[in-house]
Amino acid sequence: MLYIKNVFLSIREILLIMLIQYVLLFGCILIFGIDKSIILGTIILSIFELIYIFIKLKSIKLSFKHNYFSYILLGISLSIIYNMIIFNLGIRFEITNIPIILDIMASGIIGPIFEEVLFRYSLINKLSIFNNNILCIILSSFIFAICHNGITTIIYAFIIGLFNSYYYIKKKDILVPITIHISANIVSSFLFNFNPYILILGIILLVIGISTSKK
C-alpha cells in the first residue's frame, strides 16, 4: 500500500495538469464549437504548455554538454521505423485540419518539450526516490503511454518513453530526451505511406544514433 501511495503522489502533478488541459479543451468546445476548437484548442493548450515549461525552467539546469546530433538521429529513426511498420500493416493515422505550421509548433516542438519536462524531469525525479533505474524507466514509460489516446499512439509513446527515460537517467540532461522527442514528432508529420527504402534508412540511422550516443 505504501508503494501505491508513493506512485500516486508521484503522478499527482500529471493528473492535475491533465485535468486543467481537459477543462480548457472542454471550455473551448462549449464556447467556440467542435470545428473551431480544433485550431483554437490547439493554440490554447500550447499556450498553457508554454507557461508550464517556463515555470519549470526555473528549477532545470540546462547543460548543453552532449552531442545532440546523435539524439536527432535516434528520434528520426524511431519515428521512421514505427511509422513504416504501421503503414505496412495498413494502419493510417487520423488526419486533422490543423495547418502544418501550427501542427509542427504544437505537436512537433512545444508538445515534446512539455511532455519531457512533465514525464521525464518531473515524474522520473519523483519515482527515483523509491525505485531503481529499471523500474523508473518502465513505470514512467507506462504512465506516459496511457496518457495518450489510441492503441497505435500508446504503443509508440511507450517505445519513445523507454528510450527517453533511459537516456534521461543515463545522461542527466533533459535536453537529450527533448531532442529525441522533437525529432521524432516532426518527422512523423511528413510520413504518409510505407516505403521499404525509408524503413532501411530508419534502421541505419538507429544503429548510428545508438552507437554515437555512447561516446
Please state the φ and ψ torsions of residue 97, each to the nearest 5 degrees.
-95, 20
**For range 130-154, the mean pLDDT:** 94
Question: Could you give the percent of the chain with pLDDT greater than 90?
Answer: 76
**For range 84-96, the mean pLDDT:** 82
pLDDT (tens digit, 9 = 90+) per residue, 159-196?
999 999 999 999 999 999 999 999 999 999 899 899 99
Output the DSSP codes for 160-187: HHHHHHHHHHHH--THHHHHHHHHHHHH
Quick one: CA dihedral 8, 11, 16, 19, positive or negative? negative
DSSP state of 94: P
C-alpha cell at 62: 540546462
Query: Where does the pLDDT of residue 145 fall: very low under 50, low under 70, confident under 90, or very high at 90 and above?
Result: very high
Query: Where does the pLDDT of residue 100 fall: very low under 50, low under 70, confident under 90, or very high at 90 and above?
Result: confident
Domain count, the chain: 1
C-alpha cell at 121: 524531469
Residue 95 confidence (pLDDT): 64
CB atoms within 10 A of CB 102: 16
Contact 70, 212 (CB under 8 A): yes
Measure the CA–CA gap between 38 and 29, rounded to whole angstroms: 9
Residue 96 confidence (pLDDT): 67
Query: Where does the pLDDT of residue 35 fall: very low under 50, low under 70, confident under 90, or very high at 90 and above?
Result: confident
What does pTM read for this prediction? 0.94
Measure the CA dihedral 161/113/77/66, to 10°.
-100
Could you tell me if residue 38 is left (phi over 0), alpha (psi between -120 and 50 degrees) or otherwise beta?
alpha
Does the pLDDT at position 205 exceed 80?
A: yes
